Homo-oligomer: A and B are copies of this chain.
Amino acid sequence: MTESYFASIAPIEFEGAASENPLAYRYYDKNRVVLGKRMEDHLRMAVCYWHTFCSEGADMFGPGTFHRPWHIGPMDQAHAEHKLNEAFEFFTRLGLPFFCFHDTDVMAEAHTIREHVDNLARIGDRIQEKMAATGVKLLWGTANLFSHPRYMAGAASNPDPDVFRFAATQVRHCMDLTKRLGGQNYVLWGGREGYDSLLNTDLKQEKAQLGRFLKMVIEHKHKIGFSGTILIEPKPHEPTKHQYDFDVETVYSFLVANGLEKEVKLNIEANHATLAGHSFEHEIATAVALGVFGSIDMNRGDPQNGWDTDQFPNDVREITTALYYILLGGGFTTGGNNFDAKVRRQSFEPADLFYAHVGAVDTVAQGLINAAAMIEGGQLAGIVKERYAGWQGELGRAILDGKMSLEALSDGAVAEGITPRPRSGRQEMIENLVGRYL
């Protein structure tokens, strides 16, 4: 066998904050115990297969610049296995515990539905061997229901039931494989479940189709005994003008309307949050409050650009607050941090993939250390608790427990002649307080 594409890169080791080695971890010490748990177990970081091994560096204005060796020629079984070998070369050098994939990322290209099933099964065996040999685990699998032209008008929400059937076939076999590989979650991202034009769209019909599709997925999960979590990943738009899974609240609305809010959790992506007009931490805190927080697609967008740039995270402040809310919600269970991020088109060398991941891993590790300190310090939680203390009083509890009518409350307030006392929100002081932990 030829030398690995990544042969020149030594395994990435933890060297501490003082290290000047750009290919070492300065903060990610996987065995360091934070809030009673090893960093690796807290953060459950994963490499994504698509951006890291499938992307060729194309954008809408030009073709690929990466020229990875496994992309020279058709994506047949041999090339798929070449890519797989290199993926595990990368995983093991990087030292993260997990990876994630779409069915079409890993398999040889299929030209018929039968080939799809067969090619996925065939590469599944190879993946299983690689995982066994290396100890790398699967955070989640997913089916790509948006790239093939058959999905140009959606998958489960397609006007054509045959497309729904093709999507069902992909999902069924990808769920089966995910289970076989010990995957801890299964993700649905509705890349084209939405519309390009409302004018040719029957919104209600499409959402009914989506609802039925999701129920079939849940039924299948139980049937095959998959013990992982089903996750939906919101995104507001792109490639579609409008996507049905716009943001956390929209997905929750859909789940509740279909009675599935106990069966499904959310995979939240930083860049999708910001494209929807929310902060990353808002989407996390909302999912935690609704009881549907599941996992993270860790990346960042560009605050001046209006599309999904999927950049590697490097903003410690943003990651710290994101992890703070995750920790407040109890941390990850089956979920984790998947780096749904891609190197820039000019960063075409093997080393760039490592620089990007090393920086991101360290940013997340620093964020964890900071967020844990914030939790341990307790000031922030204390301020919030104290701010709402009035609701722990007798009247507050009576209101929330439904024991007061509008009339009674109103009459009492007028009789008392209440004049609520203003109180500073202390936003700047609190922001400074967070700054102390960075």
Contact = CB atoms under 8 A, between A and B. Distances in A.
Interface stretch (A4-12, A88-96, A129-137, A238-246): A238-246
Nearest to A387: B159
A432 B400 contact: no
Contact of A417 (B113, B153, B199, B427): B113
A165 B64 contact: no
A31 interface: no
A162 interface: yes
26 contacts: A60-B239, A62-B147, A113-B414, A159-B391, A161-B393, A164-B399, A172-B406, A197-B344, A197-B427, A199-B434, A202-B384, A204-B289, A205-B388, A207-B289, A212-B402, A215-B402, A216-B404, A242-B278, A242-B304, A277-B304, A279-B303, A306-B306, A314-B432, A315-B317, A355-B426, A356-B428
Interface in A206-260: 207-209, 212, 215-217, 219-220, 223, 236-239, 241-242, 246-247, 249-250, 252-254, 256-257
Interface residues of A, number: 159
A435 B383 CA distance: 30
By DSSP majority rule, is chain A's interface helix, strand, loop, or mixed? Answer: helix
Given A164-B399, A253-B253, A359-B432, 10 more contacts: A64-B149, A113-B417, A169-B409, A169-B410, A197-B430, A199-B430, A202-B387, A252-B257, A355-B428, A359-B431
Nearest to A245: B249
A74 interface: no
